[in-house]
A = this chain, B = another copy of it.
């Protein structure tokens, strides 16, 4: 039952966070183990020892990404009125691009990127992104239900359908933004969407 041995010299959690950034900016296929070794200053064998192979490492990073995003989403939407907060959520990709606009900066949404690159070939990746999309719509639909009850949001559509539509919009915006972002056009589009929800 000995749990002793030489202690790890790097911070596993912090290393995962930095790997997440790398995977986020370059994608799964375009990030080589060598890239990770260089960027994380951890040797190959140590990475394999701590995280298993490349695929498991990546999936772990994706899980962490969603965990952080979901926390942010839940906190942001727990407010009234809802629509300004929703606007913030939808324009998140735009503001991300404002903050870190150098090359190697995070690109789009990691869940969306994973969907494009690994789904549906990879079953585990598919499971993660499917669950993430599901949680997004659940959280947003719940918030919309409250806002409909409060008379802030139109009830001409079901909260579920509205939430599904909002998922498409965030993911579409994240994706299209990679090709260059016309901020004014993006904000106008998001405003049009949010206005469509107003009661």
Contacts and interface: CB of A to CB of B under 8 A. Distances in A.
Contacts of A164: 185-186, 188-189, 192
Nearest to A164: B189
B161 A167 contact: no
B178 A172 contact: no
A69 interface: no
A175 interface: yes
Interface stretch (A13-21, A33-41, A76-84, A105-113): A105-113
Interface stretch (A4-12, A42-50, A53-61, A114-122): A114-122
B29 A179 contact: no
B27 A179 contact: no
A95 B108 CA distance: 26
Using C-beta atoms within 8 Å of the partner chain, give the interface range for chain A: 35 or more
A189 B175 contact: no
A161 B171 CA distance: 17
Contacts of A117: 27, 116-117
Given A161-B189, A161-B191, A172 B180 contact: no
A79 to B, nearest CB: 23
Contact of A172 (B29, B121, B175, B191): B175
26 contacts: A27-B116, A30-B121, A107-B120, A115-B175, A115-B178, A116-B116, A116-B175, A119-B179, A126-B180, A130-B179, A130-B180, A157-B188, A157-B192, A161-B185, A164-B189, A164-B192, A165-B169, A165-B189, A165-B190, A168-B172, A168-B176, A168-B189, A169-B169, A171-B175, A172-B175, A193-B196
